[in-house]
Amino acid sequence: MMPFKGFWGNLKSPIIGLSPMDGVTDAPYRHMICKYSKPSLVMTEFCNVEGLARGAVSMLKEFLYSEMERPIVAQIYGVELDSFYKVALMCCYLDFDGIDINMGCPANKVARRGSGAGMIKMPDHARKVIQTVKRAAQDWADGIDLEEAGIRTKIITALQKIRTNEPKRRLLPVSVKTRIGYDEIVTEKWISTLAEEQPANITLHGRTFRQMYLGEANWDEIAKAAKICRQAGITLLGNGDVRSMEDAKTKIKTYGVDGVLVGRSTMGNPWFFGKHEPTQEERFQVAIEHSRYFEEKHMDHAFFAMRKHLSWYCRGFDGARETRVKLMQSNSSDEVEAILLQK
C-alpha cells in the first residue's frame, strides 16, 4: 500500500520549497516570496495544537494565507492527540493543500514538552500523532462537522470569518518535518519508524536537536533517509544550509533527495526561487512594499515585528549598517519609505 500523496504527487521535479521558520514565514513574508519568485510549495509558521484546541482564537492568524501561495501546507506541533485531531480538522476546513507535523523544532520550551524535536524521543507517540492527523483528514473528507468533533463555538465562528465560502471536502495529505536525531544521530531507525505510518512526505533537517543550527548540516545522513523513503514510496526533502538555487540542485542530485526546503537563505531575498538579480533600488522598493503589506495584514501587531525583515533587506551596499540602524527604530511603512528613499 502506497501513501496518499495529494498535491505532493503532482509537484514538478526537482522540488525546491520554502521552509517554515517560526517568527519569520508569516503571511506577508510568504506573499512577497510567491510574488517575486515561485517556490514549489510553502509552509506556514508552526501553530501549537493545544492552545488552538482550547480556544486561543488569536492563534488562527498563523493560518492566514492568500491563493497565490498555493500549494500551501499548514504546519502544526504539540503533544495531545485530541488537540492534533481538532486542529487538523481546522486545517481541512481552511482548505490548505496539506498538513505538516513539526517533529524537529529545537526550541527548548517546545522540545522539553515532548513536541517538536522532543517527538524523536517518543517514537510510539509520534506514530500515534501521524495516525491521528490522518484520521482527522479522512473524517473531514467523509463529512464530519466541526461541532460534532467538539471544536469550541468561538473557534468555529472565527474560522467562518476567515473562510466565508463553502469549504471543500477533500482528503489532505499529511507530512512530517524532523531532524536526524535528538542527542545523537538516529536517522535510519527514526525515519524507518516514521515511514511505517506512510506520510506523504518527510522533510529532514541535517542536524540533531543538540546541534540546534550550529555546525554543518549532515547531508550524508539525509541521503540515508532518502533511500529508506524511496523504498516506501515517500518523497524526502532535505533541509539545512542550502545557499542558492544552484546549491539546491547540486544537493538534490548528489544526495538522491526528491527536493529541498530552503529557509535562512530566503531572508531579505524574495527573489531566491527565480533567476532575477535585483538592484539595490529594487530591494528598497520591495522592502517598502513588504512593510505596507505587513501593516495591511497585521493591523493588530506592533510594527517592531517587521523590523527584522527590514534588516535582512539591508546588506551588501555602502551605508548598509547605518541604514539598518535607522530601520530598527522605524514604526511604520511611511517611516521605512522615508529612510530608504531619503525623503
Pairing verdict, β 259-262 and 15-18: parallel
The CATH number that applies at residue 166 is 3.20.20.70
Verify that 162 and 311 share a domain, yes or no.
no
* Per-residue pLDDT, 342: 83
Verify that 71 and 145 share a domain, yes or no.
yes
User: For 317-338, b where at least 16 C-beta lie within 10 A, e where not — what string?
Assistant: eeeeeebbeebeebeebeebbe
In the block, which residue shows the cell 520550551?
109
Across the strands, what pairs with 201?
235
Q: Please identify, among 220, 238, 266, the residue that sits at the C-terminal boundary of a domain.
A: 266
Burial class, 264, CB count within 10 angstroms (exposed 0-12 / middle 13-18 / buried 19+):
middle
Verify that 284 and 152 share a domain, yes or no.
no
- Residue-by-residue pLDDT tens, the chain, 343 positions: 789 999 999 999 999 999 999 999 999 999 999 999 999 999 999 999 999 999 999 999 999 999 999 999 999 999 999 999 999 999 999 999 999 999 999 888 898 889 999 999 999 999 999 999 999 999 999 999 999 999 999 999 999 999 878 888 999 999 999 999 999 999 999 999 999 999 999 999 999 998 877 789 999 999 999 999 999 999 999 999 999 999 999 999 999 999 999 999 999 999 999 999 999 999 999 999 999 999 988 756 789 899 999 999 998 888 899 999 999 999 999 999 999 998 5
Do 41 and 17 touch, CB atoms closer than 8 A? yes
Verify that 239 and 137 share a domain, yes or no.
yes
* Per-residue pLDDT, 215: 81
**272 located within any domain:** no
3-state secondary structure of 249: helix
User: For 151-182, b where at least 16 C-beta lie within 10 A, e where not — what string?
Assistant: bbeebeebbeeeeeeeeeeeebbbbbbbbbbb
Verify that 98 and 202 share a domain, yes or no.
yes
**274 located within any domain:** no
Nearest 5°: CA angle at 239, between 238 and 245?
90
**25 located within any domain:** yes
* Per-residue pLDDT, 299: 59
Verify that 147 and 284 share a domain, yes or no.
no
Cα atoms in the Cβ-side hemisphere of radius 13 Å centred on 230: 11
Closest CA to 67 of 99, 35, 90: 35
Residue range of the domain that includes 207:
6-266
- Compute the radius of gyration of the chain from its Cα atoms: 20
C-alpha cell at position 255: 544526495
Domain count, the chain: 2
* Per-residue pLDDT, 1: 74
Verify that 248 and 105 share a domain, yes or no.
yes
**Chain centroid to CA 168: how far?**
22
Task: Please report which helix (H) or strand (E) contains residue 322, including its range.
Answer: helix 320-327
Give CA–CA dist 239/260, Å, rounded: 6
Do 14 and 247 touch, CB atoms closer than 8 A? no
Across the strands, what pairs with 236?
202
* Per-residue pLDDT, 239: 97
Read off the amino acid at residue 182: Y
Give CA–CA dist 343/339, Å, rounded: 7
